[in-house]
Amino acid sequence: MAKNALGREIPEFIEGYGKTKLFQGAFALKPEGYRAGGKIRCVNSTCTDKRVSDIKAAIAASGLKSGMTVSFHHHLRNGDFVVNMVIDACAEMGIKDLTLFPTALFGVHKKLIEHIKSGVITRIMGSVNGPIGQLVSEGGMDVPVVLRSHGGRPRAVASGDVHIDVAFIAAPTADQYGNICGTQGKSACGSLGYAFTDAQFADCVVAITDNLQPYPAAPISMSQLSVDIVVEVPSIGDPAGIVSGTTKVTRDPLRLLIARYASELIEASPYFKEGISFQTGAGGIPLAVTAFMKEAMIKKGIKASFGLGGITGYFVELLKEGLVERLMDVQSFDLEAVRSIGENPKHIEISADWYANPWNSGAAVNMLDVVILGATEVDVNFNANVNTEADGALLHGTGGHQDTAAGAKLTIIAQPLLRGRIPCVTDNVYSVTTPGEVVDAIVTEYGITVNPKRKDLLDACSAVKGLPLVAMEELVSRAHKMSGPTDPVETEDRIIGVVEWRDGTVIDVVKQLKAK
């Protein structure tokens, strides 16, 4: 057992994970060596159609066997049919002991529980939300899940930490030779950002589509160069679960208040000037921050250079109005975003590698000025937890939290001080996802709490009349006073989750919950 740079105790070896590398600091680890190579393919003119008859035929043709690793993207979100469809077929074909390597899982995937229990899936590397998270937290899997950020995942693939045997890529549009895109078709989801690395590095790539177009399909997001098999199915997803309608700014006064403070913090910062770039996501508070920033940008007469990450209709509106010059879209959240990425050349599809991988020649997050994030808990050292709830159960994926926090010049975590009775600010987070060294400020309804290491930011805020600054100690004491004492989480010794920092070092581990 050794302590990492945050003082978290990490075993040298974790059963089912292997030898651990200790987290040394956000930017401490420098990689050496070469990227993992892909399998060489050779397809000549005797093959002009990569289609097979159905999913089982595709699985058979892919060479997938028990014990291998399969990957999926989550662009169809809660409307996805593909993960369940493929794993059901694997189960029927007697394939077992699979490692599931999704970019994220959703509530719709709770059906996988039966496949976990029957041994079809024995390992998950990726976020485990909702019922699967609960199952894993209570010890329902023999091997710990590995949680990686959106940037940490392509890093793990490109560096050879994870080898994908077969990537199953849900393709809203494809042609028979494997050119695919996400912006067209009845199951359109916009950007296919998270799938690019899988297409590039997997030994075999299967495109699953419900909108087959004559060769060559256009536009093309991922090309025939990396797709080996194409299979047409009646439907890859439920449009209602894939994209939401128009995303609206919240009317909740508390969230609006927090968003207003966050916006005022950004305005007070040195980054609020012509060419500012920001990522605000689709949550209630971040979206409202964007709305307040819009007002402030108009007032000051400045424009943003780009908006990054998950893109909503609200961002599209800013692009149309000329307040943002470009959108770099790794995930399109709503109908407007899907429409825009298909039509507007200033709305650019980017891969997760491009978005956030720390081990390439420069990810988009490095160019980011401001990011607004959430967290289930933040502690006095500004360490943030997004993976577990206060009760210790795995509940959320890491998403781009680590990557944007590490990349942005100003990282703001904005959220109410309490969720129900659970305080969001605490002495010590149950589990660390993102280290305090890359978190610059917490914004709650009580005001702005600046990380003391950002003295420049503190000075900038102090210079603005009426900006409510709250010291971390005061915030914690207020949270304690309001929530009262909470029982500590009771756990077994067994590790059921490994939280990797984006560079592959272990920032924390999550233990199995004691049976109640």
**C-beta closer to another protein: residue 252 or 391:** 252
In the complex, least distance from residue 280 CB atom to another protein, rounded to whole angstroms: 20
CB atoms within 10 A of CB 143: 16
**C-beta closer to another protein: residue 475 or 498:** 475
Tokens of 42: 């050779």
DSSP state letter for 126 = S
Any contact of residue 291 with another protein (CB under 8 A)?
no
- SS3 percent helix, strand, coil of the chain, rounded to 5, is 30, 25, 45
In the complex, least distance from residue 253 CB atom to another protein, rounded to whole angstroms: 4
**C-beta closer to another protein: residue 99 or 444:** 444
**C-beta closer to another protein: residue 56 or 260:** 260
CA distance 136 to 39: 33
Any contact of residue 163 with another protein (CB under 8 A)?
no
- With beta carbons less than 8 A apart as the criterion, state whether 196 and 353 touch: yes
**C-beta closer to another protein: residue 88 or 445:** 445
**C-beta closer to another protein: residue 397 or 447:** 447
No. of helices (H) and no. of strands (E), the chain:
15, 30
> Residue 52: in which H helix or E strand, if any?
strand 51-52
**C-beta closer to another protein: residue 261 or 355:** 261
- With beta carbons less than 8 A apart as the criterion, state whether 323 and 359 touch: no
- Residue identified by tokens 């000051």 is 300
Strand partners, 507: none
Considering only the stretches 149-157, 250-258, 313-321, 503-511, report the one whose residues sit in contact with another protein under the rule CB under 8 A. 250-258
CB atoms within 10 A of CB 134: 18
Any contact of residue 424 with another protein (CB under 8 A)?
no
CA distance 155 to 346: 27
Any contact of residue 96 with another protein (CB under 8 A)?
no
Site string for another protein, 470-489 (x = CB under 8 A): ------------x-------
Considering only the stretches 88-96, 256-264, 330-338, 424-432, report the one whose residues sit in contact with another protein under the rule CB under 8 A. 256-264
Beta strand pairing call for 304-311 and 204-209 = unpaired
Q: Which residues contact 89 (CB under 8 A, 6 or more apart)?
A: 55, 56, 59
Considering only the stretches 14-22, 88-96, 220-228, 251-259, report the one whose residues sit in contact with another protein under the rule CB under 8 A. 251-259
Instruction: Please count the residues of this chain forming the interface with another protein, following the rule CB under 8 A.
Output: 9
Considering only the stretches 128-136, 187-195, 208-216, 246-254, report the one whose residues sit in contact with another protein under the rule CB under 8 A. 246-254
Among 256, 304, 373, 443, the residue binding another protein under the rule CB under 8 A is: 256
Strand partners, 378: 384, 425
**C-beta closer to another protein: residue 204 or 268:** 268
Comparing CA positions, the residue from 265, 260, 508, 246 lying closest to residue 383 is 508
Any contact of residue 289 with another protein (CB under 8 A)?
no
Q: Which residues contact 225 (CB under 8 A, 6 or more apart)?
A: none
In the complex, least distance from residue 349 CB atom to another protein, rounded to whole angstroms: 35
CA distance 197 to 464: 45
**C-beta closer to another protein: residue 253 or 488:** 253
DSSP string, 456-511: HHHHHHHTSTT--B--HHHHHHHHHHHH---PPPPEEEEEEEEEE-TTS-EEEEEE
Considering only the stretches 16-24, 54-62, 153-161, 247-255, report the one whose residues sit in contact with another protein under the rule CB under 8 A. 247-255
User: In the window 428-447, what residues touch another protein (CB under 8 A)?
Assistant: 445-446
Any contact of residue 355 with another protein (CB under 8 A)?
no
Using CB under 8 A, list all residues that contact another protein.
251, 253-254, 256-257, 260, 445-446, 482
